[in-house]
């Protein structure tokens, strides 16, 4: 297989293998993790008999491989489950039901994804503006005071954990200055304006962490580009310094910035745990931490598969974009 | 008033004086070549004409006037008006001299709009126009291509188009053909010549290749260590050099018509390739870099392999030493099929920079084959390495030096010493001198010849330079697109080539004599027209 | 997986040109960069502080675990009594709210954990990443495929989640800082390093001097160690300098999730975690560890940059973004005045 | 045991228990402000009350909820046979009728309890509430699909031990009779004088069988209370409750239901909740929280601001944090060692670690310091405020540890402050003075729970805590000290493994009493008697301080839940 379709197919096959192994790893790890799932689900004061009933109900007594087989079956052909009063069908790809709430994992994922996306995509705009802007400025103004200040600011972003930045931002901006309401997730479809206002601080906090990476990358690639021969060509033809920087040097940095961006977005969809927790955004990351703590295995597996999927997708997208942006690269 | 007036130009980088009191002038429409080896400061002069040293920390003294602009005192704005509009520059490496991310037409349009207040659309039309003039077929469509979609020659044409766009009075060409194949080089030189006659612009050609200068200019200025050594009409200087350095330079240039003193090519066959084919890539993207090639090398004999880029000569060389396995066919060493590397078959690489590990002393690099063979006695190793260093013309005491402390020629000698350490019976030299200055080239070639005679080595000499190959080879294999085009005794191939491709190659080699150069240019034009 | 990612990892370093001219040059170049030198001194000081923590606290006469209930106002949530968080001759940087433990002692002991964990994790990431990357780069198609797939899987594992799960699995007796470092290192970080190293290896293994080593008769393994590893130093060090701060942050994040190093062992991340709510009532409690963290990350980054530049001789010329760069650089190195005329290498086939 | 979420420090996600902190509340008798701010004028009806919580109302099925007194938010939707008295302080610890006309009519030995429903009770859809619905609601709670509630129904109802709920067992529970639509009779397997307390739990809320949808019922449970669920997003992360038109104040003396709408937002970080309440900006002015306390840092800030301090409600919920021993593990088999540790403990350090004197009160009794529990002050091993290391050393020497000893203290790594590392380090620091070297064994929350609640793996010394299911000594002492409640193959809470006949007999005797005041006094006496055995070292009782928005009026904080009662508040 060659060319773009071949590339997509190879990536897809690779992704499936990766996701499969990922689900096995999660099953095994959480199998050996302490925590009596049935007891946790049943409640702390449940009697052994009751715990046993719950374990049966959730198939927790089956051997690991049987449980995993059920999971696979659900993914491939779907499965039926009982709500007590009726039997429901969970269509393939069915990731099972939460031990805790009985909700279908796919439903939970669909509910959480928009939140995580809202957070990450908005933050992306800010980190790109901030990071690339800083990078351009610091490549341009190398060694000057403005560059050092900017670099220090972005580094402070890396150095300070998000929960500190976020909380201090909230205390100052929402509490003391009362410039913004305390963030509270609003669906984009309900009220786009409120959606944006409420997410502004989470966006900023998340973006501040990532911006420094983009600043560094932009600066490094721009300096690399500026040292290249074609820059000399344009200077030798009287093209102004501004045009050289913005048109040529920055263009040289775009491929790697786009690639880093795709990868960052991919990992942040499920990885912005702390930001989601701090700001109370009901996204994938927050749900994952909750599920891990109560050993809600179906939810954990489902969420990890989703986040893993996005990481893999992001890497593939990064490659495609990188190749598209830098036509010299051939997809392999 | 002359187009260029350089008086007492000095350029210093830190403590290094790259250009030292150089003066010259160039009349409207005239052509001057700055010729010199690396480090002679010739490119620095070219840059100084456009004020490119401004803001780089280099100290520039003397005065430079180009097309009425005093480059030294001009404001940034005035300098920008000079660049591209009155004097345009063409650089050595056409690939890296163009922005890989933009279409070629757009890049030309961009620089055109710096000087001409025209609309974007008009600038694009202009770009297509000049691309067409430099001979890019289907210019309107190709203007939308990016540099990597162009071949090397087309890129250099595009750079020339960029220079033409602003209708400059002066074209500064800095090694414009160095990175190109010989046939392409001829085409570009022809194009420059044609454009000059057409537009009447002046030309300042910077080159290390006397042959290129001979083809292109009226006057020549030979530079060394930042100073002018000799200057005058190109015919006169080349025919009767006044200065010893000029003479030395000219003598070192290999001539394609010089016969080689016969060598006793009678030994047994050391290395043999039979019907080898090597593919790269898989599936539909697979292509054969070398296809059905059979060659033999005998003891004490030199096989020259010539070809342009992409001809498969390096792949063939790597198969011969066992760094690559043939897909089809086999490599025989002393009659027996052999796979994998073999200390008895060594290689000398093209790039003296990348062929030595910069982090290891040269002595250690040379000692590698000894140690790999199991030698443990440090004293014996040092002794043998010292001997080898001496043998290749270096100092015994250089054992502990690092590669960067050596010049290119010296590094190539180290590479040869390392190959010799393995006590090889065959030596494959892949473009061993193409990265070297001509004078150095001659020395390395001489060393190889000496070693061959002394040790009875079977040599494979791979190069793109037909003249060098002729100088060293007993037999010659001409390759093109992976296949053997012509294969036979050197004199036969060079003096009475059978294949049209060989003829074409030979016709493209620049001649040192301007008159014969003009003749050959005319000859080249005929088949092109036909 | 992502070649682009690998490219990102190497941005700012050089992919193919081997350029390190030996240790002496390296140190000379590093010394020329004042900022890097200052950063190196700062990092050295931090490491020294961490190593000498018991001495420093003995000098102050405090230790990081003793409670001082009398120095805090119990009725007001345990806010330190006195100005600047209870700064006094006995407590140089004041005391911690709620417990009255000595801030200076906790800060210097915290340096041990934070630096130890981040440097240790970085070390493991480098070792594993380089081993995997080199093996994938040098191995045949199948080795490459399998190793790359493994790398992908680890790249997709969510760090926080695996940390939460794994920290619960491992027996309590295992030294916690070591465990945290290992989890940081093994779950995350190394995979990107491996990708980058693989890309570098693929580029380096076709270099002539690597071929020459093979022609000398050395085995692939020996060639890898002698010829490849030194060439990987520059990009690896550069990337490692980026990993250190991210490991420090990750340690802090684990503390936030309640699975970092265990009390009473102090770490900066843990201090920050408990301090953020005190931002209004006892600001110095938050500011001190935040400052320590910032200084560390800043110094590490500047040092990393300096090392990268010092390792890359071309970078010296990059300092000035002008034309004539090549000539200038060439002029500097062309001591013997016979530097090569660079002819672009005519690549054939491969 | 209820696990109220007394979260001073934030915990990243759900604090592991299933139990949602819906109904933690107890009173603020010494906080006169609490009542004062309630208002001089009549409370305003209407408006929207916002509830900012950290724990989502994941379980909203009355069968699955584990509440004390019916919970806070659930109590707005579910009415139960009895309920807690919605009054400030001590009075709030009493049981009062809700759906029923009285708190229950026992037979002579308190093994049969009969209730009669009020007239005119309706669901949100207007259909009448019948006694069969209450029976069905209780039966549902036995289904393994809907597990999660308190254990008492299974333990107390005759023949209920193996019942698996109405989905598997269509015959139903014979122990509950519904002779007519308004009468319901419970048959217990032993005397239980505190049955009226149990009848406050949400399992006693009616569930119409025709509307039961099993595990999905919780997304829209049918309301019998003043509000109905109109929105339930993300498993209770965002709930909107609106007035239930079919609820009548005439049949409900307890719930005031002033606001028209209740908007519950959860999944919030606890420090953010407190920041929002203190800023009290926009809709947050009419906001309260039902699960987030002020932490020490916030308290430090609030105490410096009189305006803010006036918006703090203080309450006490029956709760004790203690050091627990496993006397089967050496050296804790020696009472002298246990006593030495009790003497060595520095309660002021522990209190500081728990947030300072405003957020924790030093405890020497196992029972909470409230009258309804029968609180009887005692201190068998007086350690004073800062501990008595000298006495401890003396006891250790008697026990044969002249040169001190080394112990391991097991605790949870969860940052919930009750069992947190901070408390453990405070204990560690205090015992050091008595020559005891304490090694800390911090476990992940699940691991910690598995270990301390398993007879097989129970550590020798660990941090533990216990909260009241209702404000009485019964559910506080029996699970911990009743020898017949030792569970060998499951979750065991009698961590001292005490099986003392005299204690068991006294528990049985008190359970027979239907005079709850008399029972309380005897619980107090029993607590003192057990306290002498030094099986636990009580450390502190937490104090709940919670901010509420500036527009929130009519603050009622009972001793039952310790937090302000959302059914009572009005918003301006």
Per-residue pLDDT tens digits for B152-181:
888 888 998 998 888 889 999 988 887 788
SS3 content of chain A, % helix, strand, coil (to 5): 75, 5, 25
Question: How are the residues of chain B apportioned to helix, strand and coil, as percentages rounded to the nearest 5?
Answer: 40, 25, 35
D212 touches chain A (CB under 8 A): yes
Residue A286 and residue D13: Cβ atoms within 8 Å?
yes
Report whether pLDDT(D8) > 70.
no
E strands in B95-201: 170-174
- D554 is written with which tokens? 């009519």
User: How do residues A143-155 score in pLDDT, each as one tens digit?
Assistant: 677 777 777 777 7
Tell me the shortest Cα–Cα distance from D92 to chain C, in angstroms: 27
Inter-chain residue contact C98 with D356, CB threshold 8 Å: yes
For residue A233, the chain B residue with the least C-alpha distance is: B97
For residues B512 and B250, is the Cβ–Cβ distance under 8 A?
yes
CA B64, CA B59: separation in Å to the nearest integer?
Answer: 14
| B208 Cβ under 8 Å from any chain C Cβ | yes
The rounded mean pLDDT for chain D is 87
Chains D and B, touching by 3 or more CB pairs within 8 angstroms = no
Taking CA B321 as the corner, what is the angle to CA B320 and CA B326, rounded to the nearest 5 degrees?
A: 50
C227-253 residue pLDDT tens? 888 778 777 877 787 788 788 878 888
pLDDT in tens, B410-454: 888 999 999 999 889 999 999 888 878 888 888 888 899 888 888
- Closest alpha carbon within chain C to D275: C277
Contacts of range A197-202, beta carbons closer than 8 Å, 24 or more positions apart: A199/A118, A199/A119, A199/A122, A199/A281, A200/A122, A201/A166, A201/A169, A201/A170, A201/A173, A201/A174, A201/A279, A202/A119, A202/A122, A202/A123, A202/A166, A202/A275, A202/A276, A202/A279, A202/A281
CA nearest B413: which of B347, B357, B358, B348? B348
- To the nearest whole angstrom, how far is the Cα of C164 from the nearest Cα of chain A? 7
| Average pLDDT rounded to a whole number, residues B490-519 | 85
Report the pLDDT value the prediction gives residue B374, as an integer from 0 to 100.
Answer: 84
Residues 6+ apart with CB under 8 A from A324: none
**Which one of D144, D445, D487 has the shortest CB-CB distance to A53?**
D144
Closest chain C CA to residue A7: C1
Tokens representing D24 are 């933690």
Cβ C237 vs Cβ C309: under 8 Å: no
Q: Which residues of D touch C74 (CB under 8 A)?
A: 348, 351-352, 356-358
- Which residues does chain B have within 8 Å of residue C350's beta carbon, measured at their own beta carbons? 280, 289, 315, 318, 324
Query: Which residue out of A225, A233, A250, A325 would a mutagenesis test of the B interface target, given it has the greatest number of B Cβ atoms within 10 Å?
Result: A233
- Integer Cα distance of C50 and D513 in angstroms: 64
* Residues 122-151, chain B, touching C (beta carbon < 8 A): none
Q: In a mutagenesis test of the B interface, which of A7, A221, A222, A238 is the best target, namely the one with the most B β-carbons within 10 Å?
A: A238
| Pairwise CA distance, residues B231 & B381, whole Å | 51
Least Cα distance to A292 among D211, D12, B173, B172 occurs for D12
Q: Tell me how close the Cα of A305 comes to any Cα of chain C, in angstroms.
A: 9
Residue of D nearest to C260 (CA): D413
Q: Supply angle C-alpha C238, C243, C247, rounded to 5.
A: 160
Instruction: Mutation target for A interface from D234, D286, D464: give the one with most A CBs within 10 A.
Output: D234
Q: Are the C-beta atoms of C130 and C185 separated by less than 8 Å?
A: no
User: Are D191 and D111 in contact, with CB atoms under 8 Å apart?
Assistant: yes
Residue C22's pLDDT is: 55
Chain B partners within 8 Å of A251 (Cβ): 99, 101-102
Contact D323, D350 (CB under 8 A): no
Cα dihedral A119/A125/A130/A133 (nearest 10): 170
Number of C/D CB contacts below 8 angstroms equals 118
Taking an 8 Å cut-off on Cβ atoms, the answer to whether A167 and C279 are in contact is yes
Q: How far is A172 from chain B (nearest CA, A)?
A: 44
A240 chain-B contacts, CB cut-off 8 A: 80, 114
Q: Report percent pLDDT > 90 for chain D.
A: 64
A301: its two tokens = 């597996």
Partner B contacted by A224 (CB < 8 A): no
Residues of chain B found within 8 Å of residue A235, distances taken between Cβ atoms:
52, 83
Pairing of the two strands B87-90 and B170-174: parallel
With 90 as the cut, is the pLDDT of residue D229 above it?
yes
Query: C19, C21, C209: best mutation site toward chain B, by most B Cβ within 10 Å?
Result: C209
Confidence band (pLDDT; 50, 70, 90) for B361? confident
Interface test mutation site (partner B, options A6, A230, A325, max chain B beta carbons within 10 A): A230
Q: How many Å lie between the alpha carbon of D496 and the closest alpha carbon of chain A?
A: 17
Q: What gap in Å lies between CA B25 and CA D219, rounded to an integer?
A: 92
* Positions of chain C with pLDDT under 70: 1-32, 172, 311-350
Rounded to the nearest angstrom, the gap between the alpha carbon of residue C164 and the centroid of all alpha carbons in its chain is 22
- The whole-angstrom distance between D281's CA and the closest CA on chain A is 8
pLDDT single digits (tens) D88-114: 988 999 999 999 999 999 999 899 999
- Chain C 22-41, residues with CB within 8 Å of chain B CB atoms: 22
Among the partner-chain residues A34, A217, A308, the one whose CB lies closest to the CB of C168 is A34
With contact defined as beta carbons under 8 Å apart, do C174 and D442 qualify? no
Q: How confident is the model at residue D30, as a pLDDT? A: 38
Answer whether the bond into residue B507 is a cis peptide, omega within 30°: no
Q: Give the list of residues 6+ apart from residue B261 with CB closer than 8 angstroms, or none.
A: none
Give me C219's structure tokens.
């085995």
The Cα–Cα gap between D290 and D219 comes to: 20
Pick from B96, B98, B52, B89: which is nearest to C323 by CA? B52
> Tokens representing B90?
């063409």
The model carries a pTM of 0.81
Count how many Cα atoms sit within 13 Å of the Cα of residue D535 in the half-sphere of its side chain.
22
Mind listing the pLDDT tens digit for each residue in D507-548? 999 999 989 889 999 999 999 999 999 999 999 999 999 999
The answer to whether the CB atoms of A84 and D447 lie below 8 A apart is no
What is the C-alpha separation between B461 and B476, in angstroms, rounded? 9
Q: In this structure, are residues B20 and B10 in contact, taking their beta carbons and an 8 Å threshold?
A: yes
Label residue A70 exposed, middle or buried (CB < 10 Å: 0-12, 13-18, 19+).
Answer: middle
Mean pLDDT of chain A: 83
Between chains, do D356 and C172 touch, taking CB under 8 Å as contact? Answer: no
Q: Which residues of C touch D11 (CB under 8 A)?
A: 258
Confidence band for D176, pLDDT divided at 50, 70 and 90: very high
Of B13, B322, B359, the CB nearest to C22: B359
pLDDT of the residue at B81: 86
Judged by average pLDDT, the poorest of A159-163, B414-418, D25-29, D136-140 is D25-29
The contacts of residue D381 (CB under 8 Å, 6+ apart) are D339, D342, D343, D534, D537
Question: Who among C156, C257, C294 is closest to A289 (CB)?
Answer: C257
**φ, ψ (nearest 5 deg) of residue B331:** -105, 130
Confidence of residue B345 (pLDDT cuts 50, 70, 90): very high
- Triad C269, C271, C277: Cα angle to 5°: 110
Q: Does the beta-carbon distance from C298 to A159 stay under 8 Å?
A: yes
When pLDDT is averaged across residues D290-312 and rounded to a whole number, the result is: 89
Rg (C-alpha) for chain C, rounded Å, is: 24
Mutation for C interface: D292, D356, D361, D420, most C CBs within 10 A:
D356
Pairing of strands B328-333, B336-337: antiparallel
Most confident of B210-214, C221-225, D418-422: B210-214
Q: What's the ipTM?
A: 0.79
**CA dist list (Å): A144 to A250, B58, C344:** 19, 21, 36
* Pairwise CA distance, residues B123 & C3, whole Å: 38
Collapse the DSSP code of B94 into the 3-class scheme (helix H, G, I; strand E, B; otherwise coil) and give the result. coil
pLDDT, tens digit, 9 for 90 and up, residues B297-311: 998 889 999 988 888
How close C90 gets to chain A, by Cα (Å)?
A: 29
Q: Which residues of D touch A289 (CB under 8 A)?
A: 12-13
Average pLDDT over residues A280-289: 86
The Cα of B194 is separated from the nearest Cα of chain C by a number of Å equal to 26
H-type helices in D295-420, by residue range?
296-302, 306-309, 335-344, 347-353, 389-398
Query: What's the pLDDT at C16?
Result: 36
- What is the structure's pLDDT at D53? 92
Q: Which two tokens stand for residue D485?
A: 């409640």
D169 touches chain A (CB under 8 A): no
* Residues of chain D found within 8 Å of residue A51, distances taken between Cβ atoms: 490-491
| Residue located via tokens 């949530």 | C77
What is the pLDDT averaged over residues B36-65?
86
Pairing state between β C72-73 and D105-106: unpaired
Percent pLDDT > 70 in chain B is 96
Question: Which residue's entry shows tokens 């400025």?
Answer: A137
- Using only the alpha carbons of chain D, give its radius of gyration: 23
| Nearest CA-CA distance, residue C65 and chain A, Å | 24
Q: Which residues in chain D touch residue A54, judged by CB atoms under 8 angstroms apart?
A: 144, 147
Residue D525 forms contact with A (CB below 8 Å): no
B173 in Cβ contact with B18 (< 8 Å)? no
Subunits with 3+ Cβ pairs within 8 Å of A are B, C, D
Residue B8, φ and ψ in degrees, nearest 5: 50, 50
Q: Above pLDDT 90, what percent of chain B?
A: 22
């Amino acid at each position: 297989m060659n060319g773009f379709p071949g590339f997509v197919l190879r990536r897809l096959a690779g992704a499936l293998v990766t996701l499969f192994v990922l689900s096995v790893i999660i099953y095994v790890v959480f199998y050996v993790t302490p925590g009596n799932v049935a007891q946790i689900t049943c409640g702390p004061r449940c009697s052994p008999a009751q715990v046993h009933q719950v374990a049966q109900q959730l198939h927790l007594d089956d051997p690991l491989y049987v449980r995993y087989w059920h999971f696979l079956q659900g993914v491939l052909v779907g499965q039926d489950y009982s709500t007590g009063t009726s039997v429901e069908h969970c269509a393939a790809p069915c990731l099972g039901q939460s031990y805790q709430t009985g909700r279908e994992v796919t439903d939970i994922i669909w509910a959480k994804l928009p939140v995580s996306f809202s957070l990450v995509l908005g933050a992306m705009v800010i980190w790109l503006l901030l990071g690339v802007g800083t990078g351009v400025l610091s490549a341009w103004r190398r060694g000057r005071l403005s560059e050092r200040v900017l670099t220090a600011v972005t580094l402070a972003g890396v150095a300070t954990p998000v929960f500190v930045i976020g909380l201090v931002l909230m205390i100052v901006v929402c509490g003391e200055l009362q410039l913004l309401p305390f963030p509270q997730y609003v669906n984009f479809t309900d009220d786009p304006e409120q959606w944006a206002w409420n997410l502004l601080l989470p966006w900023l906090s998340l973006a501040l962490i990532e911006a420094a990476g983009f600043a560094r990358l932009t600066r490094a690639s721009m300096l690399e580009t500026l040292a290249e021969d074609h820059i000399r060509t344009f200077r030798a033809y009287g093209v102004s310094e501004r045009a050289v920087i913005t048109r040529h040097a920055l263009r040289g940095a775009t491929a790697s910035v786009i690639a880093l961006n795709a990868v960052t977005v991919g990992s942040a969809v499920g990885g912005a745990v702390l930001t989601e927790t701090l700001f109370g955004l009901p996204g994938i990351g927050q749900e994952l931490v909750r599920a891990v703590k109560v050993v809600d295995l179906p939810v954990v597996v489902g969420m990890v598969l989703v986040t893993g999927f996005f990481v893999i997708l992001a890497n593939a997208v990064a490659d495609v974009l990188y190749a598209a942006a830098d036509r010299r690269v051939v997809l392999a | 008033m002359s187009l260029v007036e350089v008086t007492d130009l000095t350029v210093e980088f830190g403590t290094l004086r790259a250009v030292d009191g150089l003066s010259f002038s160039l009349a409207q429409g005239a052509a001057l070549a700055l010729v010199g080896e690396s480090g002679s400061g010739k490119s620095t002069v070219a840059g100084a004409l456009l004020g490119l040293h401004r803001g780089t920390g280099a100290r520039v003294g003397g005065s430079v006037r180009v097309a009425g602009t005093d480059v030294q005192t001009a404001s940034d704005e005035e300098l920008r008006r000079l660049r591209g509009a009155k004097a345009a520059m063409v650089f050595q490496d056409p690939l890296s001299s163009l922005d890989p991310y933009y279409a070629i037409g757009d890049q030309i349009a961009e620089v055109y709009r710096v000087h001409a207040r025209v609309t974007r659309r008009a600038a694009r039309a202009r770009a297509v126009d000049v691309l067409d003039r430099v001979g890019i077929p289907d210019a309107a469509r190709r203007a939308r291509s990016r540099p990597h979609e162009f071949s090397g020659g087309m890129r250099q044409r595009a750079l020339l188009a960029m220079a033409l766009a602003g209708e400059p009075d002066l074209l500064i060409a800095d090694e414009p053909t160095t990175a190109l194949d010989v046939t392409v080089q001829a085409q570009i030189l022809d194009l420059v010549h044609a454009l000059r006659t057409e537009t009447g612009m002046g030309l300042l050609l910077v080159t290390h290749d006397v042959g290129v200068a001979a083809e292109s200019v009226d006057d020549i200025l030979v530079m060394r260590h930042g100073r002018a050594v000799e200057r005058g009409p190109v015919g006169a200087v080349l025919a009767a050099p006044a200065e010893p350095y000029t003479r030395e330079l000219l003598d070192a240039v290999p001539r394609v018509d010089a016969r080689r003193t016969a060598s006793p090519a009678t030994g047994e066959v050391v290395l043999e390739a039979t019907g080898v084919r090597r593919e790269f890539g898989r599936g539909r993207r697979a292509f054969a870099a070398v296809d059905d090639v059979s060659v033999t090398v005998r003891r004490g004999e030199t096989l020259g392999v010539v070809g342009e880029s992409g001809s498969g000569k390096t792949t063939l060389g790597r198969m011969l030493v066992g760094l690559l396995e043939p897909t089809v066919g086999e490599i025989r060493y002393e009659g027996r099929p052999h796979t994998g590397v073999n200390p008895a078959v060594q290689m000398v690489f093209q790039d003296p920079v990348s062929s030595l590990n910069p982090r290891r002393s040269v002595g250690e690099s040379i000692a590698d084959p000894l140690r790999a063979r199991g030698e443990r006695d440090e004293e014996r190793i040092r002794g043998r390495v010292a001997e080898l260093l001496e043998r290749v013309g270096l100092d015994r005491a250089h054992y502990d030096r690092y590669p960067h402390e050596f010049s290119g020629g010296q590094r190539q000698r180290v590479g040869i010493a390392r190959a010799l350490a393995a006590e090889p019976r065959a030596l494959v030299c892949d473009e061993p001198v193409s990265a070297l200055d001509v004078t150095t080239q001659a020395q390395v070639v001489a060393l190889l010849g000496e070693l061959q005679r002394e040790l009875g080595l079977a040599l494979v000499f791979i190069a793109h330079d037909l003249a060098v190959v002729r100088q060293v080879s007993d037999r010659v294999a001409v390759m093109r697109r992976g296949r053997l085009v012509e294969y036979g005794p050197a004199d036969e191939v060079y003096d009475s080539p059978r294949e049209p491709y060989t003829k074409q190659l030979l016709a493209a080699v620049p001649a040192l004599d301007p008159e014969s150069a003009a003749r050959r240019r005319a000859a080249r034009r005929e088949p092109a027209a036909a | 997986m992502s070649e682009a990612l690998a490219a990102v990892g190497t941005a700012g370093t050089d992919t193919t040109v081997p350029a390190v001219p030996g240790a002496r040059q390296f140190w000379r170049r590093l010394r020329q960069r004042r900022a890097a030198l200052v950063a190196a001194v700062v990092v050295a000081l931090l490491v020294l502080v961490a190593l000498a923590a018991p001495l420093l606290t003995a000098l102050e006469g405090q230790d990081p675990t003793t409670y001082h209930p009398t120095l805090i106002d119990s009725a007001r949530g345990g806010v330190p009594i006195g100005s600047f968080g209870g700064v006094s001759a006995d407590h140089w940087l004041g005391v911690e709210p709620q417990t009255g433990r000595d801030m200076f002692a906790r800060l210097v002991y915290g340096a041990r954990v934070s630096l130890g964990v981040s440097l240790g994790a970085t070390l493991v990431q480098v070792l594993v990443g380089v081993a995997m990357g080199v093996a994938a780069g040098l191995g045949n198609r199948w080795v490459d495929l399998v190793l790359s797939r493994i790398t992908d899987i680890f790249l997709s594992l969510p760090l926080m989640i695996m940390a939460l799960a794994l920290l619960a699995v491992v027996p309590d007796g295992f030294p916690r800082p070591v465990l945290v470092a290992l989890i940081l290192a093994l779950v995350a970080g190394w995979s990107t390093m491996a990708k980058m190293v693989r890309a570098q290896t693929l580029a380096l293994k076709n270099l002539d001097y690597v071929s020459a080593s093979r022609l000398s008769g050395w085995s692939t393994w020996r060639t890898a160690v002698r010829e490849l590893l030194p060439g990987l130093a520059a990009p690896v060090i550069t990337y490692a300098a980026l990993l250190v701060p991210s490991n420090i942050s990750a340690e802090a994040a684990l503390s936030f999730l309640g699975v970092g190093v265990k009390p009473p062992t102090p770490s900066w991340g843990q201090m920050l975690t408990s301090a953020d709510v005190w931002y209004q009532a006892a600001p110095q409690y938050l500011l001190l560890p935040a400052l320590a963290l910032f200084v560390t990350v800043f110094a590490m980054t500047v040092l990393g940059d300096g090392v990268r530049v010092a390792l890359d001789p071309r970078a010296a010329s990059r300092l000035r973004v002008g034309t004539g760069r090549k000539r200038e650089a060439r002029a500097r190195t062309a001591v013997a005045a016979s530097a090569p005329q660079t002819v672009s290498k005519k690549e054939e086939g491969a | 045991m209820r696990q109220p979420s007394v979260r001073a420090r934030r915990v990243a996600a759900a604090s592991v228990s299933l139990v949602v902190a819906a109904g933690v509340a107890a009173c603020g008798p010494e906080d006169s402000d609490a009542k004062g701010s309630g208002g001089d004028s009549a409370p305003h009806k209407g408006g929207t009350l916002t509830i900012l919580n950290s724990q989502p109302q994941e379980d909203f099925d009355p069968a699955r909820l584990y509440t004390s007194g019916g919970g806070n938010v659930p109590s707005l939707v579910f009415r139960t046979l009895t309920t807690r008295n919605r009054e400030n302080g001590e009075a709030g610890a009493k049981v009062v009728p809700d759906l029923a006309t009285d708190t229950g009519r026992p037979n002579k030995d308190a093994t049969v309890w009969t209730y009669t429903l009020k007239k005119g009770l309706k669901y949100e859809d207007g259909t009448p509430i019948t006694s069969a619905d209450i029976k069905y609601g209780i039966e549902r709670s036995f289904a393994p699909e809907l597990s999660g509630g308190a254990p008492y129904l299974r333990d107390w109802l005759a023949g209920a031990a193996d019942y698996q709920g109405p989905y598997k067992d269509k015959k139903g529970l014979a122990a509950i009779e519904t002779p007519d639509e308004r009468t319901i009779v419970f048959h217990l397997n032993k005397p239980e004088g505190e049955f009226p307390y149990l009848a406050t739990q949400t399992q006693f809320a009616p569930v119409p069988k025709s509307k039961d949808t099993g595990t999905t019922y919780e997304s829209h449970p049918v309301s019998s209370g003043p509000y109905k669920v109109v929105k339930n997003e993300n498993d209770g992360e965002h709930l909107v409750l609106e007035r239930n038109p079919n609820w009548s104040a005439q049949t409900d003396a307890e719930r005031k239901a002033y606001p028209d709408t209740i908007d519950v937002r959860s999944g919030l970080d606890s420090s953010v909740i407190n920041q929002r309440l203190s800023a009290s900006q926009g809709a947050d002015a009419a906001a309260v929280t039902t699960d987030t306390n002020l932490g020490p840092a916030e308290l430090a800030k609030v105490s410096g601001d009189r305006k803010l301090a006036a918006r703090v409600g203080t309450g006490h919920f029956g709760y004790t944090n203690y050091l627990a021993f496993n006397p089967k593990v050496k050296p804790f088999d020696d009472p002298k060692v246990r006593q030495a540790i009790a003497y060595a403990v520095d309660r002021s350090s522990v209190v500081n670690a728990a947030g300072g004197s405003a957020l924790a009160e030093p405890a020497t009794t196992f029972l909470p310091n409230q009258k309804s529990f029968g609180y009887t002050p005692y201190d068998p091993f007086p350690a004073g405020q800062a501990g008595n290391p000298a006495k401890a050393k003396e006891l250790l020497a008697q026990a044969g540890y002249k040169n001190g000893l080394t112990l391991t203290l097991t605790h949870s790594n969860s940052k919930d402050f009750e069992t947190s590392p901070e408390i453990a380090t405070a204990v560690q620091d205090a015992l050091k003075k008595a020559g005891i070297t304490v090694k800390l064994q911090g476990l992940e929350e699940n691991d910690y729970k598995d270990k301390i609640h398993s007879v097989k793996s129970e550590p020798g010394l660990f941090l533990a805590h216990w909260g009241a299911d209702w404000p009485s000594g019964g559910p506080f002492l029996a699970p911990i000290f009743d020898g017949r409640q030792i569970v060998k193959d499951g979750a065991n809470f009698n961590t001292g493994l005490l099986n003392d006949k005299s204690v068991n007999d006294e528990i049985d005797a008190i359970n027979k009493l239907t005079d709850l005041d008399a029972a309380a006094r005897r619980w107090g006496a029993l607590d003192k008697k057990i306290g002498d055995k030094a099986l636990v070292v009580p450390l502190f009782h937490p104090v709940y301080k919670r901010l509420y928005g500036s527009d929130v009026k009519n603050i009622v904080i009972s001793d039952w839940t310790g937090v302000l009662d959302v059914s009572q508040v009005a918003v301006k």
